Structure 1
Amino acid sequence: MEPRPRTRAVGAALLTAALVASTAAGCSSSGAKAAPPPSTTPAPAAPAGRTEPPVVMPTGPKAHFRFSHNTSGGPIMVTTLKGAKSGVTGKVWVWLPPEYKDKRYAKSGFPVLTLYTGNTGVNYNFWAHEEVEPIQKVAVQMRKRHKAHPFIMVMPVLQMSTRQDTECSDIPGMPKMGTFLGDDVYRMVKANFRTLPGRDGWGLGGASSGAFCAVKLALQHPDRYRSAMSWAGYFAPEPQAGPRWTPQQMSANSPTEMVKKRPDVRLFLLAGDRKLFRSDKERIMAFKQIVRPPTTVQVEIQKNGGHYTADLQKLLPDILTWFTKNLEGPVPAK
């Protein structure tokens, strides 16, 4: 079998190209071919019989958010979160949909998408930058056409140092990024924003190295997260990322092993079919074969797609549509 290309090296190249020049450089894509959807019934906008908008009000303590920058979909806020459980301090960017401040939704909670960046994710998250991944712009456009829920989007850093590749896990001797991302960020969101009861309004998504994190954390915390999306991801820790791990720790942090426990989670796996990046497709097809109910998986292979931000941009409508079908949405007052 061909060795797997270094995922973060590819991610660094695509991110640099996106920020410095154009995300379309070296890419072309002419659409996607989707596999049949999972047989499970998509989550409804609100459970049958509910007479009042679903909501969990913020519990506090209130985090200090400041303005970061504008997008065509609205402003991005940022806070520096000091993780109470992990001891990690890192930036978290948040985008609130226009409906969040709409009086009709004042008593409703909102679904939350936590999005993990590609590459190392040290002190940045490219989902928060429209010139890289314009997901907020696309979300507003789709919402106007009643094609997507209004989502709260949460975009944390992925790790603390380029010299400490933590794989979104608690590695001995390194920052506890698994606890920071899977617990501290989750609790911060619930403390500051109107969310939905239970796990049916919570989803994770990621690109490349962030895709590993999205699937891993969803499988690790099925009591908190209903759905996870992976674009061009992988499903086992990269050996060079965990030199201090024992084989048992590697296994304990591997989505390939976690999924064998059959957690009730819905997965959406995407990749391109370009020969240069055929390992992206091969990994998701191999992972799909070991998924068993109640875990469900939907695969989408992008025709002539690669491992570039330009390819991911073209898939944003499909991603938001999938999350809308698989997560509960807010309910306006009648």
Structure 2
Amino acid sequence: MNLSVISVGFVTGLAVVTATAWLGAVLIACRRRFGFAAATALVAAVLTVVTAADVVNAYYEYRPTIADVFGLARWTTLSSRQVALLTAPPSPSSSLAAREPNAAAAGRPRHAVLPVGQATRRAVAARGAVTSVAVTDGQTSFPVGRVLVYLPPQYFTDPTARFPTVYLLHGSPGEPADWLRSADAFHVGAELAGAGHPLILVFPPVGRSWSDDSECVDGAHEAVETYLIQHVVPTIDARFRTIPSRNDRSIGGLSAGGFCALNLGLRHRDLFSAVLDFSGYTHPTHQGGMAALFGHRPDLAAVVAANSPDRYAADLPALPPTRVFFACGAEEGGIAAAMRAMAATLGARGIPATMQRFPGGHTFAVWRPALAAALDWLTGVEETSTAPAIARPVV
């Protein structure tokens, strides 16, 4: 199921099969076997749609494998109950022997009653796991969202440790799992953990649907900023062993999520100490315009300005200390220029900003290495490979 569907060979092969199907339909029609010709043409039409979709998919590198196309996880997943089981301190009362001392005598294998198999336990201890938690705003402006959470292996091997947290916001169209399927966040998190820099990575929904472009603002139809700041962050801190301080909390995003991260990170510097912006604009954008996004209101201009970093950044104070990482593709000229200008503005206000460019355009071919580079920058891996682990004991 890890077969690549975005390789040149796969896309070319799919195109050849499609062309062959159309040729077959024509040849069958020439023999006046119109029923078979119609059926073959229908197959060819479906293949044409599939091929066109895969060409677009290959360009953006959105669903790299067969497993991704069908929504199958290529990473270790755990339920909340399984996480609780694997992180609970051992005690005689919770041991299998205490709960069922006669299991072996009864002819039942001891591991049969465990909800987590040994293979999964080994995988979790080696590379961590992804779980999810439902978070709602308690109102009707935003539905219950399943927030995905990557937990590093140290989360399970050291039940006394707490960890820094990075919130990663997807683009539009998009969904939280894009970070795992398309940006390879599970692998990046596992590699960092293996190097002694374990992080909790949080992937919340930022829209009601795959195509919803909320810009992460409190808009006319949904209060996404309120949802993320007042509900998601407190829930994650309450449910997981985070280090619940701004110095150990960062926010990042890609494309529309990059704007979200920049805007929310600068508007809520009391919560976030670092911002990771991948190919995000420096002001809100919406297909229907600002009135469609924020609603028809007398203070629309002021609300837009308050959510446009390129308009308010020049007035930001230097404190609390915040640092910003910008990344975009070498082919993203307009975004790169806006990022350079924003970095200069922030630098003039005493807010350090760095920028990196990667080969490619507005695609996951850029955002995948950008994520790895940004987390290296965040944890100091780019400065030294022998830095101490940043997991901290519970105090």
Q: Would you call these one fold, judging by a TM-score over 0.5?
A: yes
Amino acid corresponding to residue 272 of structure 2 in structure 1: Y
Tell me the CA shift for residue 271 of structure 1.
1.2
Q: Could you tell me which residue of structure 2 aligns to residue 25 of structure 1? A: none
Amino acid corresponding to residue 343 of structure 2 in structure 1: K
Paired residue secondary structure (2:134):
strand
TM-score of the pair, normalised by structure 1: 0.71
Tell me the CA shift for residue 298 of structure 1.
0.8
Q: 1:320 aligns with which of 347, 372, 375?
A: 375
**Structure 1 residues 258 and 191: alpha-carbon distance in aligned structure 2, compared to 1, 3 A threshold:** farther
**Structure 1 residues 282 and 21: alpha-carbon distance in aligned structure 2, compared to 1, 3 A threshold:** farther
**Structure 1 residues 306 and 165: alpha-carbon distance in aligned structure 2, compared to 1, 3 A threshold:** closer
Where in structure 1 are there 5+ consecutive unaligned residues?
1-11, 23-63
Amino acid corresponding to residue 268 of structure 1 in structure 2: F
Partners of 1:220 and 1:258 within 8 A in 2: no
- Whole-Å Cα distance in 2 between the matches of residues 226 and 191 of structure 1? 20
- Whole-Å Cα distance in 2 between the matches of residues 233 and 14 of structure 1? 21
Partners of 1:85 and 1:179 within 8 A in 2: no
- Whole-Å Cα distance in 1 between the matches of residues 81 and 261 of structure 2? 26
Paired residue secondary structure (2:167):
strand
Tell me the CA shift for residue 16 of structure 1.
6.4
Partners of 1:109 and 1:194 within 8 A in 2: yes
Tell me the CA shift for residue 155 of structure 1.
0.2
Percent identity over paired residues: 25
Partners of 1:115 and 1:156 within 8 A in 2: yes
Q: Could you tell me which residue of structure 1 aligns to residue 205 of structure 2? A: 157
Q: Which string of whole-angstrom CA distances, capped at 9 and with x for unpartnered residues, describes residues 43-101 of structure 1?
A: xxxxxxxxxxxxxxxxxxxxx8478x999944321222112478522221111000011
Q: Could you tell me which residue of structure 2 aligns to residue 267 of structure 1? A: 324
Partners of 2:163 and 2:198 within 8 A in 1: yes
Q: 1:169 aligns with which of 197, 205, 217?
A: 217
Q: Could you tell me which residue of structure 1 aligns to residue 241 of structure 2? A: 194
- Whole-Å Cα distance in 1 between the matches of residues 360 and 281 of structure 2? 17
- Whole-Å Cα distance in 1 between the matches of residues 140 and 373 of structure 2? 34
Paired residue secondary structure (1:203):
strand
Q: Which has the higher contact order (CA 8 A, sep 6+)?
A: 1
Paired residue secondary structure (1:205):
strand
- Whole-Å Cα distance in 2 between the matches of residues 119 and 164 of structure 1? 7
Q: 2:190 aligns with which of 127, 140, 150?
A: 140
**Structure 1 residues 259 and 329: alpha-carbon distance in aligned structure 2, compared to 1, 3 A threshold:** farther
Q: Does 1:206 align with 2:253?
A: yes
**Structure 1 residues 251 and 65: alpha-carbon distance in aligned structure 2, compared to 1, 3 A threshold:** farther
- Whole-Å Cα distance in 2 between the matches of residues 200 and 14 of structure 1? 38
Q: Could you tell me which residue of structure 2 aligns to residue 59 of structure 1? A: none
Q: Could you tell me which residue of structure 2 aligns to residue 112 of structure 1? A: 165
Partners of 1:120 and 1:158 within 8 A in 2: no
**Structure 1 residues 139 and 124: alpha-carbon distance in aligned structure 2, compared to 1, 3 A threshold:** closer
Where in structure 2 are there 5+ consecutive unaligned residues?
1-55, 67-78, 83-119, 295-299, 382-388
- Whole-Å Cα distance in 1 between the matches of residues 280 and 341 of structure 2? 12
Amino acid corresponding to residue 151 of structure 1 in structure 2: L
Tell me the CA shift for residue 125 of structure 1.
3.5
Q: 2:157 aligns with which of 94, 97, 102?
A: 102
Tell me the CA shift for residue 171 of structure 1.
1.0
Amino acid corresponding to residue 349 of structure 2 in structure 1: P
Paired residue secondary structure (2:247):
coil
Within 5 Å, give how 1:84-95 maps onto structure 2: 84=138, 87-88=141-142, 89-95=144-150
Amino acid corresponding to residue 352 of structure 2 in structure 1: T
Q: Could you tell me which residue of structure 2 aligns to residue 8 of structure 1? A: none
**Structure 1 residues 287 and 126: alpha-carbon distance in aligned structure 2, compared to 1, 3 A threshold:** same
Q: Could you tell me which residue of structure 2 aligns to residue 331 of structure 1? A: 392
**Structure 1 residues 76 and 208: alpha-carbon distance in aligned structure 2, compared to 1, 3 A threshold:** same
Alignment length (residue pairs): 269
**Structure 1 residues 15 and 217: alpha-carbon distance in aligned structure 2, compared to 1, 3 A threshold:** farther
- Whole-Å Cα distance in 2 between the matches of residues 14 and 299 of structure 1? 26
TM-score of the pair, normalised by structure 2: 0.61
Q: 1:81 aligns with which of 132, 135, 141?
A: 135
Tell me the CA shift for residue 198 of structure 1.
2.3
- Whole-Å Cα distance in 1 between the matches of residues 242 and 391 of structure 2? 9
Question: RMSD of the alignment, in Å?
Answer: 3.1
- Whole-Å Cα distance in 1 between the matches of residues 140 and 262 of structure 2? 20
- Which structure has more helix as a fraction of its residues? 2
Amino acid corresponding to residue 179 of structure 2 in structure 1: W
Q: 1:235 aligns with which of 274, 282, 293?
A: 282
- Which structure has more strand as a fraction of its residues? 1
Q: Could you tell me which residue of structure 1 aligns to residue 305 of structure 2? A: 251
Tell me the CA shift for residue 280 of structure 1.
2.1
- Whole-Å Cα distance in 2 between the matches of residues 258 and 331 of structure 1? 35
Tell me the CA shift for residue 113 of structure 1.
0.6
Q: 1:301 aligns with which of 353, 357, 367?
A: 357
Paired residue secondary structure (1:118):
coil
**Structure 1 residues 154 and 190: alpha-carbon distance in aligned structure 2, compared to 1, 3 A threshold:** same
**Structure 1 residues 166 and 21: alpha-carbon distance in aligned structure 2, compared to 1, 3 A threshold:** same
